[in-house]
Amino acid sequence: MKNVDSQAIPTSSESSVKMIIRKGNDVRERKMIVYTKSDGDMRYSVSKFIEPADVRGTQFLQISKKSETLQFLFLPSLNKSRRIAGGQKKTSFMGSELTYEDMERKNIQDYEYKLIKEDENLYVVESTPKKGVDSQYSKAVFYVRKDDFAVLKTELYKGEKLFKVIENEITKVEGKYNIPTRTYVKNIENGNETELIIENIKVDIKVQDKYFSPDFLGKW
Partner 1 sequence: MKKFFSLIFYAISLLFYLLFLFPNFTYAESEEFTPFSSSSFYSLTRFFLDLKKDNSFEDLAEFKQRFFLETNYKPSEKFSILFSGKLDLNYFYGGFSRFQNFFDVHEAYFSFSGEIFSLSGGRKIVSWGICDGSPLDVVNRPDFRDGIFAEQKFLKTPGILLDLSLLFGSSSLQVVYEPFFTPPQFVDIKGDWAIMNWRSLYIAFEGDKSSDQLKPLLDGQFQPVVKKYPSLFSDLLKSFGLGFYFSSRMELLQLVFAAYTGFGFPLPFFDPVFSQEFARTPGTLEQKLDISAAEILEPASRGESFLKLEPKRYYMLGGGWSYDISGFLLKNDLAFFVSPLPDLNLNIKNFPLLSLAFDIEKEIIPNLISIAGTRTTINLSRDKIVFLERGIILPSISLRYEIYFGQSSLSLLPAFILDIPIESPKIRGNFFVFTSLFKPYDFLEISVGLFLLSGKRTSPFGFFKDNSSVLFSLKLYI
Inter-residue contact 177 to 202 (CB < 8 Å): no
- Minimum Å distance from CB 67 to partner 1? 9
Query: What is the number of alpha carbons within 13 Å of residue 35 lying toward its C-beta?
Result: 17
Q: Which neighbouring-strand residues pair with 67? A: none
Q: What distance in Å separates the CA atoms of residue 69 and residue 63, rounded to the nearest whole number?
A: 6
134 is a contact residue toward partner 1 (CB under 8 A): yes
In 3D space, the residue among 166, 218, 199 whose CA is nearest the CA of residue 29 turns out to be 199
Size of the site for partner 1 (CB under 8 A): 43
130 is a contact residue toward partner 1 (CB under 8 A): no
180 is a contact residue toward partner 1 (CB under 8 A): no
- Minimum Å distance from CB 215 to partner 1? 4
Among 13, 17, 19, 21, binds partner 1 (CB under 8 A): 21
Q: x/- binding map, residues 74-93, to partner 1, per CB under 8 A?
A: --xxxxx--x-xxxxxxxx-
CA dist list (Å): 149 to 45, 54, 143, 178, 184: 22, 39, 9, 9, 19
Torsion of CA 139, 47, 19, 67, to 10 degrees: -10
95 is a contact residue toward partner 1 (CB under 8 A): yes
Q: Is 172 left (phi over 0), alpha (psi -120 to 50) or beta?
A: beta
**Residue number, 6 or 91, with CB nearest to partner 1:** 91
- Minimum Å distance from CB 111 to partner 1? 19
39 is a contact residue toward partner 1 (CB under 8 A): no
Q: What distance in Å separates the CA atoms of residue 173 and residue 159, rounded to the nearest whole number?
A: 37
**Residue number, 71 or 178, with CB nearest to partner 1:** 71
Among 18, 23, 66, 105, binds partner 1 (CB under 8 A): 23
Angle at 206 between CA 18 and CA 50, to 5 degrees: 25
Question: Which residue ranges make up the site for partner 1 (CB under 8 A)?
Answer: 21, 23-24, 26, 28, 33, 50-57, 68, 70, 76-80, 83, 85-92, 95, 99, 134, 136, 208-210, 213-216, 219-220
